[in-house]
Amino acid sequence: MTFRLGLTGSIGMGKSTTARLFVEAGCALWDADAAVHRVYARGGAAVAPIAALCPEAVINGEVSRARLKEIIACDPAALGQIEAIVHPLVAEDRAAFLAAQTADITVLDIPLLYETDMTGLDAVVVVTAPAEEQRARVLARGTMSEADFETIQARQIPDAEKRRRADYVIETDTLEHAREQVQAVLADIRGRRINA
């Protein structure tokens, strides 16, 4: 059975880059955001139930994330209804991926790992960076305003709390430092947890 390593961190902390470093080091990777895209795509498992709940959210046979965002902005209660549809479908996608794994370690990239009380993991790694670096990274993307960033940040568990709960913490100050820490995490898991 594959070792299930949860990977999380607040927005702009370097999670996607760190996930790639784990893949380069031989780990399998399941990405929660990619799973959401699959269930929202044409023919995806979430399309019909979302259409029944919010018909205006489905455009050309696909769930529009932008339209969902507008719906939730107008009716915050809609978020819970949408999550009740999407979360079980994403969990099914994750379970199928894990069942098919032959890699010794599978990294599960889950942005809201702590916020959704994710269970069934063997260990969790949190990526972190200084707050000013986090803000600069997010705003440099040019995809959201400072207000959007603060709204997302307010919905996430604070970085310090995530680090406190984690089995491993990776600082993403430089790519090389992050790579060294990924190697150290994998050496620890393979030496102490898998082959013990």
Helix and strand totals (H; E) in the chain: 9, 7
Copy the structure tokens of residue 39: 């269930």
Strand ranges across the sheet with 28-31: 28-31, 105-109, 3-8, 123-128, 168-171
**What separation in angstroms does the CA of 57 have from each of 43, 53, 74, 93?**
15, 9, 13, 22
185 in Cβ contact with 170 (< 8 Å): yes
Instruction: Classify 167 as helix, strand or coil.
Output: coil
The residues, ordered by sequence, that sit 6+ positions from 16 with a Cβ below 8 Å of its Cβ are 109
pTM: predicted TM-score of the whole model, two decimal places: 0.88
Phi-psi region of 10 (alpha: psi -120 to 50; beta: other; left: phi over 0): beta
User: Structural domains in the chain?
Assistant: 1-27+104-191 (3.40.50.300), 33-102 (no CATH)
Q: Angle at the Cα of 89 (from 17 to 193), degrees rounded to 5?
A: 50
How confident is the prediction along the chain (196 residues), in pLDDT tens digits per residue? 899 999 999 989 999 999 999 999 999 999 999 999 999 999 999 999 999 999 999 999 999 999 998 998 888 889 999 999 999 999 999 999 999 999 999 999 999 899 888 889 999 999 999 988 998 888 888 888 888 888 888 888 999 999 999 999 999 999 999 999 999 999 999 988 676 5
